[in-house]
Amino acid sequence: MKGGNRSIAHGIVYTAFDIIAEKQTGATPLEVLVRAVDNAKPRLEVKSRRVGGATYQVPLEVSTERQLALALRWMVDSAKARKGTPMRDALATEIIEAYGGQGNCIRKRDETHRMAQANKAFAHFRW
C-alpha cells in the first residue's frame, strides 16, 4: 500500500486471489499464499560490521518477524518490477511462482543465502 490507498490495495490483493483460484485447482488461494511466503522467507542474511578499519559482511540468522516482512516485501517489489502487466496479474503470477519454488523473490532469497554462505568465515564477528 502506497500513499494510503488501502481500498485499492485490497482490490489488488483480492483480485489476485481470484486469479490464483482460477489457475491453481488443488489448494485455496490462502494456502497458496502461505506456502509461497514460506518458500520466500530467508533464513540467513548478511549485515555489515566495521572491525578495525575493515568492513565485513557478517552472516546472521533472521528473526521470524523479519523473515515474513522480507518475504512479503520481495514479493511486492518483484510484482512491481513486472512492467506491462496490471499489478493484480503480476502479484498473482509472483505468488504462484513462489508457491512452485521459482520466481524473482525466490531468486532474491537464494542470492541472500549465497552471500551469507560465502561470508561464513566472518561469523565470529557476530555479537
- Whole-angstrom CA distances from 122 to 56, 59, 87, 116, 117 are 7, 7, 40, 10, 10
Domain presence at residue 101: yes
Q: Could you tell me the pLDDT band of residue 31, with boundaries at 50, 70 and 90?
A: very high
Provide the domain limits for residue 51: 6-125
- What is the domain-level CATH number for residue 42? 1.10.455.10
87-116 pLDDT, tens digit each = 999 999 999 999 999 999 999 999 999 999
Domain presence at residue 15: yes
Domain presence at residue 26: yes
Total domain count, the chain: 1
**Of residues 82, 61, 101, 69, the one with CA closest to residue 16:** 82
Domain presence at residue 90: yes
- Going by C-beta distance under 8 Å and a sequence separation of 6 or more, which residues neighbour residue 5? none
43-72 pLDDT, tens digit each = 999 998 888 888 888 899 999 999 999 999
Domain presence at residue 77: yes
Domain presence at residue 108: yes
Domain presence at residue 1: no
User: Model-level pTM?
Assistant: 0.87
